[in-house]
Structure 1
Amino acid sequence: MNTAVIFVFMTVTFLTSQINCQEAILHISSASKEQEFCILYNHSWTPLPERLDATVPYPVVNLTSTMLCDPSGVSPDVVKGNAVVVMRGDCTFSQKALVAQSLGATTLLIASNITMIPPSANGSEYSKVQIPLALMRYRDFMEAQRVFGDEMQARLYAPLSSWIDGSIGVMLLISIVTVALGGYWSGACERERLNSGAEGANRDNKAESGDIALYSPFKVFIFVCLMSGMLFLMYYFYNILIYVMIAIFCIASATALFSCIDAVLEKLGCAHGNFTVFNANFSLRSLILASVCISISVVWAVYRNEDRWIWILQDLLGVAFCLYFIRTMSLSSFKICVILLTLLLVYDVFFVFITPFFTKDGVSIMVQVALGPGASEEKRRGNVVEVPAEPETPTETLPVVMRVPWFSARAQNLCGMQFSILGYGDIIVPGLLVAYCSRFDVWINSTKKIYFFSCCIAYLLGMITTFAVMLLSRMGQPALLYLVPFTLITSATVAACRGEIRQFWNGTSYEVLESSQEPLLPEARSDHPIEAEPC
């Protein structure tokens, strides 16, 4: 089960949302009520105030019975000084705007019952239109009429969207805490294993029950090849395999959440409450905990497409999954860490930057698998905002990312929840190196945990660099491009400074060759820790 999870879930890299400047807010109010709706506008055509208190309210006139492609049949007395709502179609946005402007309208709202994109026109037409112009969903206007009746006041404004959103800080906190806890857990388990005298039993390189150990470069290569094959399968058979992925995620995340919480309860000394039924032993604590974890996983599966709150459960399950993965999968040496992280970095760069040259639509395999085949090319590239006019059937996406909604982007969230996202792989892959450093601190009996803390700091700096480049370039970044060099170089530098580079490179004394089962290290470590030289 663990091996299957590895091949399935380490396939998506860091792809974060971009800040858009094409959404705005329509504020509808009456004497006692107010409500806000999503609108799309062209900021180079229709400049809008940034704050609600800087706007002027105008009465709303319902002209959705006409397209307003010409002034015939419309009385200027009805339109003058009001915000006019007309239907989309039959003529260009600029033609509608010029007609409304000639009739004395102060604002033009175009109701759309098809997918909306920001209105545009020829550059020469921009200067002719002097009134605000925006698109809104027809169903939103119907909702406003139901709530407010004919006594509506409309105000349009476009609050600024900061490049730096609070969701980035939350994402940074989630990633560093998960990596640090996973590394600490791995080191604590290694210390417990050594203290219990299990090292001698593991001389044949058999890990603890349920654990996965990578100790051979050949196995690492096969592991990465299987991941690549899984990504290709997802690309060609997405509509089928996505449901297999969802099922595996439910099982794996529930198991991981159970293991994480059970470890905490064990540390706190909570009683198991053992009892016997028909000569079979049961633990009351385990039964209750399993029921809770399975319930959380099932709730996520049922409501996985509910953006407003389900991201909390997905992040909870994701954190547990990453922690359990880092704890369960162990790398035997820094040599294996270098090989694995380097191959995964090449894998990441290849599938993000190289595959667009080979795909028929020019979209990378990684991006298409991450966003799903239903996302348009322009939407994938972040160049165009598209807002569906009617509720659509949600597109299934891979549950392999942490998601945190934008906090400050009110207009964007009205049009559809916007998220900062971080792939599980950008936590797990460097986390495996952090876990190795934590275990090496145990092997050399380092009370200051110098390797563990230095690798965690390097990971934090790598994540900060990733977010900084993303914000400056306004483009999503493959995080491993920065995390792998930061963590590998820092760990190697610490080992060289302390004069332990040979031990750090070769790792544990029970690393073996598959062919001969002989120790790779001639100076096989005894039960005593390696003598560390002071830095």
Structure 2
Amino acid sequence: MVHVVSEAGGSQGKDYCVLYNPQWAHLPHDLSKASLLQLRDWTSSVLCSPADLPARGFSNQIPLVARGNCTFYEKVRLAQGSGARGLLVVSKETLVPPGGNKTQYDEIGIPVALLSHRDMLDIFKSFGRAVRAALYAPNEPMLDYNMVIIFIMAVGTVALGGYWAGSRDVKKRYMKHKRDDGPEKQEDEAVDVTPVMICVFVVLCCSMLVLLYYFYDKLVYVIIGIFCLASSTGLYSCLAPLVQRLPFCRCRVPDNSLPYFHKRPQVRMLLLALFCLAVSVVWGVFRNEDQWAWILQDALGIAFCLYTLKTIRLPTFKACTLLLLVLFVYDVFFVFITPFLTKSGNSIMVEVATGPSDSATHEKLPMVLKVPRLNASPLALCDRPFSLLGFGDILVPGLLVAYCHRFDIQVQSSRVYFVVCTIAYGIGLLVTFMALALMQRGQPALLYLVPCTLIASCALALWRRELGMFWTGSGFAKDLPQPPWAPASADGPQPLKDSDATVSQQSPGEEPVRSPVSGEQPPEPSTPQETGLGTPAQEPVSPTGRTPDPAGLTGASA
């Protein structure tokens, strides 16, 4: 930072952000320990030769010189030789670290930093030509209040998405016999993830990340377009259930032969679709407005994550473990290993997530939750005022939370798996924030989130002696009560449920496969809302007399 005050006194000083390389010379961390020196405007010169020096030199001054025509070392060597106590290079271009080599660093004993041309104009406009300045490098706060907001958004999205996905999936399987062909009642089909899909997905992620690293300025607009489309779809998916509950404005589109419209959707649903599209377009147009555009981006991002968690389904804990471990290795590799493979020594993941410093577009990828810094640190003036959390750090553990909720409902475990896995996610996120504060560098959040969620859910299943069912997902089919005409399982006794009481009252001599019981002893209906268990009594059985296995849930189907 450069703290500027007027020599005439009066007005309070002001801080400006400069890009500083501590290898030239160290700056004090406290402003009270920094010397206030005269700031001299010498921007008419690039200071590349002795002829560019003033006649009396820069004794105890901090000169402002223009950028260009020679190296930073040549500029600062001339400034130091003429008595300067520091050097500010004014740049109309993107600020870059003022670099040199080890020999040059050892020779120079004054700090050198880059100041933007816009800030220089503001200095002389606000304080006049006679000003004093002090250079200092304040310590960045270990934690910021915005971390609390990011924590609430992330944990809330994982909990809500996992709860919604699990409840929706179970309800859909139990209500298969009640289908409504109305356009507003049709829900998106869930997609079961297979090991092949996981491998293909990771390969695509790696390829896309590398392509973004080398062709960022071209591909960033493709990602922005995809985000606008996907987030508007997600926002519609989240708001549609709420709009459908409204008791008014249920009129439909008149009869027509247009695609989709021939189903006569409700007008309010069309208006909702237009609203969601408009929100994403507004964000796309004003995405670089740092004052408020981040609020829209976070809202759209949360809607996108909820929609993804509802649509993508992991059928077994085995699939959950495979996906999380593979992405764990992927995240660690691209954050901690790639700095040893790149010429710049920077992490590919961090470079892409924050935007390359040499990007001509200065665009940022929208696939993150972002919140501006809320503390009063002078560093909030600089070019990195946001804290970020990638969507992958929400979606990947969120899929495991959704699986835990589905398993909870099926085995009637009072949602203990769901609660434990959600708490483990929150603990993993807190550990990530602590590592970020201690190391002061970008962290692969999955390094902490994956072990916390996997170990917690696996330990709980082991403690409850349900690890076998939890691993293969067999609990989804095994604990479903059988229809009254189905034979007892040959694998051993099953836990007695309310809906099994009717079965136990029948004569043991009855045939194992027969028509439904007569009207004199109708079986009690078991609804998912009341028990959370059991298929409807109208569920057909296979020719062998066994209860059919719900598709995509057993370990064998994976």
Give the Cα–Cα distance (whole angstroms) in 2 for the partners of residues 64 and 237 of structure 1: 35
2:46–2:52 contact (8 Å) kept in structure 1: no
Partner of 1:146: 125
Give the Cα–Cα distance (whole angstroms) in 1 for the partners of residues 238 and 472 of structure 2: 30
Which structure would you say has the larger Rg? 2
2:432–2:445 contact (8 Å) kept in structure 1: yes
Q: How many residues in Structure 1 have an aligned counterpart in Structure 2? A: 465
Give the Cα–Cα distance (whole angstroms) in 1 for the partners of residues 143 and 319 of structure 2: 37
2:421–2:457 contact (8 Å) kept in structure 1: yes
Partner of 1:7: none
Cα distance, 1:432 vs. partner? 0.3
AA matched with 1:144? I
2:469–2:475 contact (8 Å) kept in structure 1: no
1:71–1:99 contact (8 Å) kept in structure 2: no
Partner of 1:439: 406
Change (3 A) 1:27 1:290: farther
Change (3 A) 1:79 1:286: same
Partner of 1:385: none
Tell me the secondary structure at the aligned position of residue 402 of structure 1.
strand
2:151 is equivalent to residue 172 of structure 1: yes
Give the Cα–Cα distance (whole angstroms) in 2 for the partners of residues 522 and 197 of structure 1: 28
Change (3 A) 1:257 1:522: farther
Cα distance, 1:213 vs. partner? 2.9
1:331–1:436 contact (8 Å) kept in structure 2: yes
Give the Cα–Cα distance (whole angstroms) in 2 for the partners of residues 496 and 72 of structure 1: 76
Partner of 2:115: 136
Match of 1:415 among 362, 370, 382: 382
Partner of 1:293: 276
Match of 1:251 among 229, 243, 251: 229
For residues 85-124 of structure 1, what are the structure 2 equivalents within 5 Å?
85-88=64-67, 91-101=74-84, 109-113=88-92, 115-118=95-98, 122=104
Cα distance, 1:61 vs. partner? 3.9
Deviations 1:247-291 (A, max 9, x none): 22111101111222333455xx43351224433745454344333
AA matched with 2:237? S
Change (3 A) 1:475 1:39: closer
2:410–2:475 contact (8 Å) kept in structure 1: no
Give the Cα–Cα distance (whole angstroms) in 2 for the partners of residues 238 and 66 of structure 1: 35
2:58–2:82 contact (8 Å) kept in structure 1: no
For residues 171-210 of structure 1, what are the structure 2 equivalents within 5 Å?
171-190=150-169, 192-193=171-172, 197-198=175-176, 209-210=187-188
CA RMSD in angstroms, aligned pairs only: 4.0
Please report the TM-score for the alignment, with normalisation by the length of structure 2.
0.70
Match of 2:27 among 36, 47, 52: 47
Give the Cα–Cα distance (whole angstroms) in 2 for the partners of residues 454 and 151 of structure 1: 63
Please report the TM-score for the alignment, with normalisation by the length of structure 1.
0.73
Partner of 1:263: 241
- Identity, in percent, stands at 39
Range moving further from structure 2, 302-311 or 39-48 = 39-48
Partner of 2:327: 344
Give the Cα–Cα distance (whole angstroms) in 2 for the partners of residues 61 and 310 of structure 1: 38
1:161–1:409 contact (8 Å) kept in structure 2: no
Give the Cα–Cα distance (whole angstroms) in 2 for the partners of residues 233 and 334 of structure 1: 32
Deviations 1:159-194 (A, max 9, x none): 331222333333222211111111121233245436
Change (3 A) 1:275 1:468: same
2:17–2:382 contact (8 Å) kept in structure 1: yes
Give the Cα–Cα distance (whole angstroms) in 1 for the partners of residues 16 and 429 of structure 2: 35
2:448 is equivalent to residue 482 of structure 1: yes
Change (3 A) 1:138 1:242: closer
Tell me the secondary structure at the aligned position of residue 250 of structure 1.
helix
Partner of 2:304: 321
1:161–1:408 contact (8 Å) kept in structure 2: no
Structure 2 unaligned residues grouped into runs of 5+: 180-185, 257-263, 479-488, 500-525, 535-558
Structure 1 unaligned residues grouped into runs of 5+: 1-23, 202-207, 377-391, 513-520
Change (3 A) 1:49 1:209: closer
AA matched with 1:419? F
Partner of 1:3: none
**Higher RCO, 1 or 2 (CA under 8 Å, sep at least 6)?**
1
